Amino acid sequence: MFCPFHTSLQACQLFEESRLFQFLSKVCTIFHTINLAFNHISLHKATKSEFAEKHSSSSDLSRFVI
């Protein structure tokens, strides 16, 4: 008896065991890691620039001028 769900399940299991799937999984992991790193770096840059803007505006500097 033909069961399309069972056949597709077997195909998925075979694909998960294949080298192509293992390769794609590693590639996705690498890209995900790179993406996380860039997000982390851009978050730090945004935080630093916000800090610099808060502490270097002309209104803040005018308080120190005698």
The span from the CA of 21 to the CA of 13, in Å, is 10
For residue 25, tell me if it sits in a domain. yes
The span from the CA of 26 to the CA of 19, in Å, is 11
Residue 31: its pLDDT value, please? 93
Amino acid sitting at position 20: L
For residue 49, tell me if it sits in a domain. no
Angle between helices 4-17 and 19-55 (to 10 degrees): 70
**Domain count across the chain:** 1
Residue 27: its pLDDT value, please? 92
Q: In which domain, by residue range, is 33 found? A: 1-41
Q: What is the mean pLDDT of each run of 10 residues along the chain (66 residues)?
A: 66 82 90 91 76 60 53
pTM for this structure?
A: 0.47
With H, G, I as helix, E, B as strand and everything else as coil, classify residue 47. helix
